[in-house]
């Protein structure tokens, strides 16, 4: 989990640094992909952009058990069953069903043999050495790969309006300020001008006198 408003703040700061002459264009162009994806992917919901928290990893349902142990920070694990959707690189946890175990990284899967990446730059155990014996449960954390997948993780996935703001502050205003910051950039077949028109049409301008987030669309300068 992470807080998207942190990314909002970073985006706005990167825009201000650009105004001051610092070369932040490439960062802002990449950030535009993140925001434009949420706005225009048909399987997502633009109103989720204002959410306080956003999931980053999903937990797998399958929990196969180790049939042989592993010690230290590199080696192989034999499991009784490998779900068909597993593919490396894969972050897995070992432990109990409460997901309190250690995180390790799998770099190769051969049948039911999982090869654990070592501490040589390819990833490693969370600790320098560990022992996991037969019977230890094994599950996985995977990044969400599509906006549609991510939407399903929200209880309020069918939100119909921006609501988390008042006359002067709130998460929706941060998104509006981001749209102003990204005005000069294009991504995913959409322009910043289009994104600004979309967002400013859904989130009203802060009331007169409250100017903290009333950022006007930026102009890209060389």
Instruction: Give the residue extent of every domain in the chain.
Output: 4-53+150-202, 57-143
| pLDDT given at position 115 | 82
Residues 6+ apart with CB under 8 A from 134: 65, 66, 67, 68, 69
Task: Give pLDDT tens digits along the chain (222 positions).
Answer: 789 999 999 999 999 999 999 999 999 999 999 999 999 999 999 999 999 999 877 766 556 777 777 665 567 777 777 777 777 777 777 776 565 667 777 888 888 888 877 654 444 454 555 677 777 777 777 778 899 989 998 989 999 999 877 767 889 999 999 999 999 999 999 999 999 999 999 988 777 777 888 889 997 655
Q: Is 142 helix (H, G, I), strand (E, B) or coil?
A: strand
Architecture per CATH, 57-143: Beta Barrel (2.40)
- Which pLDDT score, from 0 to 100, does residue 126 have? 47
Q: What pLDDT does residue 40 have?
A: 98
Predicted confidence at residue 222, as pLDDT, reads 55
- pLDDT for the residue numbered 20: 94
Distance CA 25, CA 122 (A): 30
Cα 87 off chain centre by? 19
pTM for this structure?
Answer: 0.71
pLDDT of residue 74: 64
CA distances from 34 to 27, 41, 104, 186, 213 (A): 11, 11, 28, 12, 20
- Give, to the nearest 10 degrees, the angle between helix 25-40 and helix 192-202: 50
């Amino acid at each position: 989990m992470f807080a998207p408003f942190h990314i909002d703040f970073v985006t706005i700061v990167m825009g201000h640094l650009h105004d001051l002459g610092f070369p932040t264009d490439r960062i802002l162009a990449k950030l535009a992909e993140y925001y434009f994806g949420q706005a225009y992917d048909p399987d997502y919901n633009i109103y989720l952009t204002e959410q306080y928290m956003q999931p980053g990893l999903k937990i797998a349902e399958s929990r196969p058990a180790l049939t042989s142990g592993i010690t230290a920070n590199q080696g192989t694990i034999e499991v009784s069953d490998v779900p068909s959707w597993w593919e490396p690189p894969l972050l897995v946890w070992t432990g109990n069903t409460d997901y309190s175990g250690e995180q390790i990284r799998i770099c190769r899967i051969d049948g039911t043999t999982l090869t654990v990446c070592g501490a040589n730059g390819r990833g490693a155990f969370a600790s320098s050495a560990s022992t996991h014996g037969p019977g230890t449960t094994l599950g996985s954390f995977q990044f969400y790969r599509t906006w549609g997948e991510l939407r399903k993780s929200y209880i309020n996935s069918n939100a119909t309006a921006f609501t988390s703001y008042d006359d002067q502050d709130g998460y929706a205003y941060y998104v509006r300020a981001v749209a102003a910051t990204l005005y000069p950039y294009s991504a995913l077949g959409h322009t910043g001008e289009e994104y600004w028109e979309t967002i400013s049409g859904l989130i009203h301008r802060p009331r007169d006198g409250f100017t903290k987030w009333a950022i006007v669309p930026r102009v890209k300068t060389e």
